[in-house]
Amino acid sequence: MRLGVVGYAPGDPRAVTEEVLRKGLDLGVTSVCYHGPGEILDALTPADCNRVNALYDDLGLELAQFGIGYRECLFDPDGGVRDRVVRTICRGIEAGRSLKAHNVLIRTGSLNPEGSYDPTPENHEPGRLDVMIDTLSRVADKAEEEGMTVVIETHALTIMGSPEINRQVIDAVGSDRLRVVMDFVNHFQSLAQVYGSTERLNHIYDVMGPISTVSHIKDISVEPGFVVHMNEEVPGAGELDLVTAVRRWEEVRPDGYMLVEHLPEDKIPTAVANVRRIAAAAGVEIV
């Protein structure tokens, strides 16, 4: 497998410098990834992309994932909103191709106005999934046209809240250019699953492995409280059987990236070191 980080680099490719990329390079990773706000995509020029591509090439780095930022929901009842977000995603796909990204990342969004990963019963009303599949089919058409792979970041709190729904949606769209992120942490739904993580991880990989092209590696910690509180954690500092997670990823995608993400910069070195230790325990070589 290969190892990268989502961090260090600013979201705007025009602001990426050799100095920030070297922070990742000094850790021995081969990819430094970032998310680009939708608002900047139209302003990117071929010269902008060529400049940052040259930096990556000179340092021997790759862009395993380019995230597209937006607040709209892919299954908004308003067709005008859906048209707008499809335009943003299509421009992001073009930018991803120009930046030589392996994958372009998108999210489903939510009908909760508080945020894309905030739950609401409206997300699960009859017909919502069909609307989203229609939107994703339009996205897949553009991805096929550009020769780019688009991956969906899915989560237990979203409309694509389980490995089974992920597989259902990808099968319904029917494009090899539309995949999901193997973000296994996002699909733990109970305390029993966390404490029995080996079984849950194997199930997630059995269902989602064939439709994943990039993985995020995190851990889960459990906080006390009257209801269950599960938080993302530095890899190796939580409850999950990450040896199994790494071993299964190597089986599914031996040349694929696992990306450390959602951490402040001061914790990234520890996370990378922990992933290396976990990979060694799993008998997996990081190349």
For tokens 């989203």, the residue is 132
* CATH number of 139's domain: 3.20.20.150
In angstroms, rounded to a whole number, what is the distance separating the alpha carbons of residues 185 and 213?
A: 16
Residue 287 resides in a domain: no
Would you state the pLDDT for residue 90?
Answer: 98
- Amino acid at position 231, single letter: N
pLDDT tens, position by position, 257-273: 999 999 999 999 999 99
Residue 188 resides in a domain: yes
In angstroms, rounded to a whole number, what is the distance separating the alpha carbons of residues 206 and 163?
A: 9
In angstroms, rounded to a whole number, what is the distance separating the alpha carbons of residues 287 and 260?
A: 15
Q: How confident is the model at residue 202 (pLDDT cuts 50, 70, 90)?
A: very high
Q: How confident is the model at residue 256 (pLDDT cuts 50, 70, 90)?
A: very high
| pLDDT at 141 > cutoff 90 | yes
Model confidence, pTM: 0.96
Q: How confident is the model at residue 159 (pLDDT cuts 50, 70, 90)?
A: very high
Would you state the pLDDT for residue 27?
Answer: 97
Would you state the pLDDT for residue 227?
Answer: 86
Taking residues 144-154, report their average pLDDT.
98
pLDDT tens, position by position, 53-87: 999 999 999 999 999 999 999 999 999 999 999 99
DSSP 138-169: HHHHHHHHHT-EEEEE--TTSSS-SHHHHHHH
Taking residues 97-119, report their average pLDDT.
97
Domain span at residue 107?
A: 2-282
Would you state the pLDDT for residue 225?
Answer: 85
**Cα–Cα–Cα angle for 39, 42, 48, nearest 5°?**
110
Q: Which residues contact 157 (CB under 8 A, 6 or more apart)?
A: 110, 117, 118, 119
Q: Give the chain's mean pLDDT.
A: 97
How far CA 80 is from CA of 83, 87, 142, 149, in Å, comes to: 5, 11, 18, 25
Tell which residue, 249, 178, 251, has the closest CA to residue 218: 249
Q: Provide the domain count of the chain.
A: 1
Would you state the pLDDT for residue 71?
Answer: 95
